[in-house]
Amino acid sequence: MNGVLLALGSMSLLAAAPSALPTGRGEGSANARQTGLGLLLLAGAGAMLYRARSTRAATETTGAPMWPLSDEGASSAPPSRAPSAPASSALPAGVVAKAGVVWSDPARAFIARMRAFLPPEVPMIVNSVTRTPESQAAAMVTKYQYAEARQPGGGAADIRATYGTKAEAFLAVPVTVESWARVVRSLYESGRGFQDGHLKGTAVDLHIKTLPSAYVPLLVDAARRAGGSPTVEQNPPHLHIDGLDRRIA
């Protein structure tokens, strides 16, 4: 209210000023200009005080600040909620992929087929699909160490059982991701190994370690009916499925 009175009073003084000021030139004109400038400043101060009080009153009434508008007329206030994450529409209901999974078109199509052969209560948790030589080597080193921890010598035995004659190239070098990645890359580039499977995106690993044991045969059966070649591996426990790009009748 005080701001309104101050603004109105200033405007009244400014309107009355011409009749009260001398009309001559020289010192009288200078005094008139100075007085007029002072009145203009006083009027501006009153208007600013009025606007500040109006803004504060609106804030107290609504509980939110009066956010200014942008040039386009849209409010520049922060959004009321964070934008929602994009829905994983590419995966069927009942399928969950762990962080870091790199998908391929054959894997997506296969998972959709396999899901259709499973009861709704059986979950599908995807551990891995497409791999680089480095991520393939990391999985193999984990496999070796897991088996070795269960039984001394088990690491080499498991690598031989899984990779056949290719295993000897890995066992001839240190058991490290760097060394084994070089072997994977060499075998792949020379055409002597890894021409399909994870490096091509035609294999998938599914989680089974914490699932009820009764679910595992259901997953195996669904994988076969979808056209894949499933293998239950124990180091660490997971369901490996090859042949995702195989055509089925």
Structural domains counted in the chain:
2
Same structural domain, 47 and 137: no
User: Rounded mean pLDDT of 103-114?
Assistant: 96
CA distances from 157 to 75, 122, 238 (A): 66, 32, 18
Task: Please count the other Cβ atoms lying within 10 Å of the Cβ belonging to residue 205.
Answer: 21
Same domain, 238 and 127: yes
Query: Which tens digits make up the pLDDT trace of 193-242?
Result: 999 999 999 999 999 999 999 999 999 999 999 999 999 999 999 999 99
Q: Residue 57 belongs to what domain range?
A: 2-19+28-62
Would you say how long the chain is, in residues?
249
In a domain, 166, yes or no: yes
Q: Is the peptide bond before 236 cis (omega within 30 degrees of 0)?
A: yes
Secondary structure of residue 16 in the 3-state scheme: helix
Q: Is residue 6 part of a domain?
A: yes
Q: Give the predicted TM-score (pTM) of the model.
A: 0.64
Q: Are residues 44 and 115 in the same domain?
A: no
Domain membership of residue 69 (yes or no) is no
Please tell me whether residues 102 and 178 are part of one structural domain.
Answer: yes
Degrees (nearest 5) of the Cα angle 211, 212, 213? 110
Residue 70 lies in a domain: no
Residue 182 placed within a domain:
yes
Residues 14, 112: one domain? no
| 126 belongs to a structural domain | yes
Q: Are residues 123 and 212 in the same domain?
A: yes
Note whether residue 71 is domain-resident: no
* Cβ-contact 120, 159 below 8 angstroms: no
Summarize pLDDT for 52-78 with one digit per residue, the tens.
454 444 444 333 333 232 222 232 333
- Residue 235 shares a structural domain with residue 123: yes
- Domain membership flag for residue 82: no
